[in-house]
Amino acid sequence: MSKVKRLNVKQFNFNSDLNQQSKTINYIALSLSLIVPLFFLVPVQLFVRPYGRPMLLAERFFHNGGWIEIFFLEIYSVTLTYIILYKEQIKKVRIRYWLFFSVIFFSQLILGLLVSEKFLMSGKLHFPIPALIIAGPVYRGGGNLFMPILLLSTIVILGPAWCSHLCYIGAWDALAARHKKKPKPFSRKFSMIFRYSMLVGVILVAYLMNRLGVSVVVATTFAILFGILSLALMYLFSWRFGYMFHCTTFCPIGSLVTLLSKLYPARIRIDHNTCTFCNLCTVSCRYNALSPQDIKKGVAGWNCTLCGDCLDSCHANSIYLSFFGSKKNAWEYYIAAVIGVHTVFLALARI
């Protein structure tokens, strides 16, 4: 039986090679990866001057530097999209460009503190802890809603991609989970109950702090401890179990993104006409979103973030992205848009 399975895998690899050779360049997808950054960055360069300073970093150091930055970012966006689509290396490439963004994000913070304030967005620091996107406005009773609006806008455009391509903390959880070659089983029921309890709990604690008049010092201490706990959980669970415990079970933002993304019209689906039920995709998924039961149902589970890793693992090419029920070029257009937004985040996301 094992020999038959090996023959099937080789056959599907051969078919995949033929598909790769005959694959034509989707210029619409490449154009999308070019247009998305332009759509956001050109108006920012021309008109946006928050706190009396340009948003694009290069413009802060020399006149018209923002245009040069946009030019190189455009090259980066199109090149990255091409590599993902036509080299079919999403699983390897995604973690690298995600980590690259996170490193740039935190490097600018360190440089802003140690070298020059120009590396900071405004000079008014806040802790880069995802939970504060919700807890901050609740504790303050309003105020600056930039991050909540940014989060909701991202969900509208890309669905759950925040949790698999854009979060500055999630990249480290993904790296920790990949320490294990094969993730260990973990109770989805516990994960779901715990994650939504965390969402409600964080909102409730922030609200009570507001009502009780808890000082900023005490609230900040709670935020720091929460951030330290997040990092500890990446080691205690993600590193040891091989799936992203922080992102799928602990992070309240992950809970909110997953919940709201159910309104997004894209789903990862499995074609039973070609699926061999080898379950290799369950190993590649670090969000605990692909179990044998999900494969039998033909659709990824609740935790799916449309990361695309499972597409690489499927030798039969049975896994695809469905957008409004159609799979024609859906993944190509989606990942091109994701890379475009990732490029925008690379240019603008700083503290």
User: Where do runs of H (alpha helix) occur along the chain?
Assistant: 2-22, 27-47, 57-61, 65-87, 90-114, 132-140, 146-158, 170-177, 188-212, 216-233, 240-241, 245, 252-260, 280-284, 292-297, 309-313, 330-348
What's the pLDDT score for residue 88? 67
CA 134 to chain centre: 18
Contact present, 57 and 107 (Cβ < 8 Å): no
- What is the share, in percent, of the chain residues with pLDDT greater than 90? 60
Q: Which one, of 204, 231, 209, 213, lies nearest residue 222 by Cα?
A: 209
CA 20 to chain centre: 27
- pLDDT range class, residue 29, cuts 50, 70, 90: very high
Structure tokens at 161: 């991609």
What's the pLDDT score for residue 125? 63
- The mean pLDDT of the chain is 87
Min mean pLDDT across 47-56, 208-217, 266-275, 297-306 is at: 47-56
pLDDT tens per residue across span 329-349: 999 999 999 999 999 999 998
Q: Which one, of 155, 143, 244, lies nearest residue 191 by Cα?
A: 244
Residue located via tokens 């033929």: 18
**What three-state secondary structure class fits 229?**
helix
pTM: 0.88
- pLDDT range class, residue 6, cuts 50, 70, 90: very low
Residue located via tokens 């210029």: 27
- pLDDT range class, residue 297, cuts 50, 70, 90: very high
What's the pLDDT score for residue 22? 39
What's the pLDDT score for residue 8? 44
